[in-house]
Structures are given as C-alpha cells and as structure tokens.
Chains A and B, each alone.
Chain A
C-alpha cells in the first residue's frame, strides 16, 4: 500500500502543536508505517512537492505576506487541509497585536535600528499583515483541531480516521479551545 503523504506547515505559532504531534508517543510507530512526511519542520523540507500531498496540517495563524502564499499553495497541493491548534483556528495569541499598526509596533519593539536606510527591511523579512487571521479566513479548511496545543490524542484520532478513509468525528471535549 502506498504511504499517505502528509505535510505540516508552521506559520505564526509557537511550535507547540508540532510538539503535540510528536507526543502521540508509540502511535508514531504505527504512523511511520502508514504515512510519509513531505515538507514539514519535522523533515526540514521547505516546499510542497509538485505532485501534491494527501493531508496538510497547518499550525499557526496567518500573520504576514509569506503566510498568505504558503496557505494558498497548501490548499492547491493538498487534498485535505487541517487547521492544527488554536492559532490556526482562531488566530489566538498572535492576534493580540490586532488593532495595533504593524509598522508602529515594530518601531516600538526594535527601535530605529530595525530600519534599512530609514525603511523597515521588508525585502528580507516578510511584511506583516495589518491583521492576524485564522487560516480558514484565507483558504477553505476541512477539519479543525482545537487546543493550545491540541491534545496528542485528538491529533492521532483525526489522522487515524483519515487513514482509514473515515471522517474524523470531533465532538465534545475534542472541541475545547485553550
């Protein structure tokens, strides 16, 4: 049987959701037999394969222009897109800056030294969006895994259901934010 190709993406988030994937413990052994990771912070591969993937898990909120491109590509190259964790689902902690002008915020945090010839170095680092957004505000998302981070059991439940060709049944406590 061909292995299911899984990508994971890390946008504006703390990496806790990726840690939670690793926290599925011995289920990792089962998973290793049934899936292969394509691009992911776990494999350090940065770009989506041209041939696409079956499932992409997205951690983090959409906070800058590069994130916009990444989620568009994720949608185009994946059969199923999953928002992994509260930052992806609600914008969560990164959204705390919403309502503050991004340029003013950077100037306040990094001071005048952060500029190149008086300008913010947006050729080197991606420009911040004026408002941090949940992933599904930008692309269609098929499933939502709540939690900060989502419990490993919920991640395993969703992935194994998909591997068995079923719709993950996310109910009750599975839907707890925070």
Chain B
C-alpha cells in the first residue's frame, strides 16, 4: 500500500484527511495507512475478518459499518470517532466485562491483555450493569495450555487461526448469546480433542487471558499476536 496518489487507487476522506489506497483494501487498512487509529478486538492480521466485536464501527456517509470488513470505495466520507461512536465502543467493552468474569489483579494476562487495554482506551470508568460473576469450569486437561472461558470475549481469533492458518479446525463456537462458548472438538476436553496439533497458535492469537500457557503466574503471560500475520505473509511470499 502506498500513500502516494496513484491513478488506479481508491480515494476517500477519513476524518477530513484525503486518503488513497489500492482497490480491495478495507477501511481499517486505509485508516491504518493514514496513521489513524481505530480500536479493534476481533481483528488480527493474517486472519479472515469476522466483524464480530463491533469495536471498529465507523460512520460511512451516515451509516455505521465495521471498518475491518468494509471495502474502501471511491468517494467515501468516513468519520472514525464521534461522541456516539465512542459511547458505543465503551458500551461494547463494558458488556464484555459484565458478561465474563474478569479479575485482572490475578490474571496471567494482567498487563498484556487487549481487553484491559481497550478499557483504558475507551475510558471505561465503571460497569453500570450487574456483573454476571459467571463461573465456568476451566479446562486444564491439555498438557501445555488451558482455557478459562470466563475470560473469553468470543472474538473467534482462536477459531479462525486454528482453521485458517493451522488447518486443524479444533476450535469452534457452541451455543448462542450469553451461553456461547468456544469449544474443542465438539466439546471434548482439550486433551481428548484429537484434531489439536498442540501448535499453540490459539494461545498467541487470543487477546485475553482465556487461552494461555500452563506454568505462568500472575501477569506473566506475554503473547505474540503478530505470529499469524507473519506466518501468512511468509506463506504468501512462497
């Protein structure tokens, strides 16, 4: 992608700034190239977009669309931040905190968590709805990893990296709404999930303390969320 205006490039306006990108790029790509930050959660470089979390919603000529899954088109006027959009993003984060069970103080991902960082970025002061205080069973059956679904934000990054980058299809979603959970092999315990190759890509991709390595303590779980993007880029280079 180049910021130079080229004849075959798409030209649009983002936050009052003229932006030009190759055809086929998303609004998120275009904004990122122009140095404009749009908060994301379910997006991860290297994975197909799910547009599941709605953090990246932007105003496109009066309509709200997810920047990660909307193609940049000639003549678009995009506004990435309005008071209404900021309230919307804060509410998304607020409901994620209410729905799961996040006790950052003794989470292995404390200090290295995308949800925790988003709470700072969107200005979440308090959660106004009652917390669920949900207590799911942790699956620590796998020898190297564990999943604590109370810390899962249902971004689907584990599901997508496992299917699209590793090709194992171990992770999937079960149930709907507040009952939705990520599961391994049709809800086998993880060590019985025969499709799992133990590659660890789900650990690196998970933005929170939901899928983590065993043997790490409070605040010790540091992940490499750039791994899927790097692997895919290397593959594409051949």
Contact = CB atoms under 8 A, between A and B. Distances in A.
Interface of A: 83, 86, 89-93, 95-96, 98-99, 131, 134, 136-137, 141, 143-144, 148, 170-178
A175 B120 contact: yes
Contact of A136 (B106, B119, B126): B126
Nearest to A172: B120
B107 interface: yes
A90 B110 contact: no
B194 interface: no
Interface stretch (B69-77, B97-105, B161-169): B97-105
Contacts of A178: 104-105, 107, 110-111, 116, 219
Nearest to B113: A178
Interface stretch (B58-66, B130-138, B139-147): B130-138
Contacts of A170: 125
A86 B97 CA distance: 13
B126 A86 contact: no
Nearest to B103: A92
B224 interface: no
B47 to A, nearest CB: 27
Contacts of B116: 176-178
Interface in B204-230: 219
B108 to A, nearest CB: 11
Nearest to B122: A175
Contacts of A173: 120
B120 A93 contact: no
B100 to A, nearest CB: 12
Contacts of A136: 126, 128
B interface residue count range (under 10 / 10 to 19 / 20 to 34 / 35 or more): 20 to 34
A90 B103 CA distance: 8
Contacts of B130: 137
Given A171-B123, A178-B104, A99 B135 contact: yes
Interface string B42-54: 0000000000000
Nearest to A14: B105
Counting chain A CB atoms within 10 Å of each CB, the highest count among B105, B106, B130, B131 belongs to: B105
Contact of A93 (B106, B123, B125, B128): B106
B15 interface: no
Interface of B: 97, 102-107, 110-111, 116, 119-121, 123-128, 130-131, 133, 135, 219
B121 A172 contact: yes
Given A90-B97, A98-B133, A177-B116, 6 more contacts: A91-B133, A136-B126, A170-B125, A174-B120, A175-B119, A178-B219
A83 B125 CA distance: 10
Contacts of A90: 97, 102-103, 127, 131
Contacts of A172: 120-121
Contact of B125 (A92, A95, A137, A175): A175
A144 B219 CA distance: 23
Nearest to B109: A178
A93 B47 CA distance: 35
B133 A144 contact: no
Contacts of A137: 130
Nearest to A149: B105
Contact of B131 (A83, A86, A95, A171): A95
Contact of A91 (B107, B128, B131, B135): B131
Nearest to A176: B120
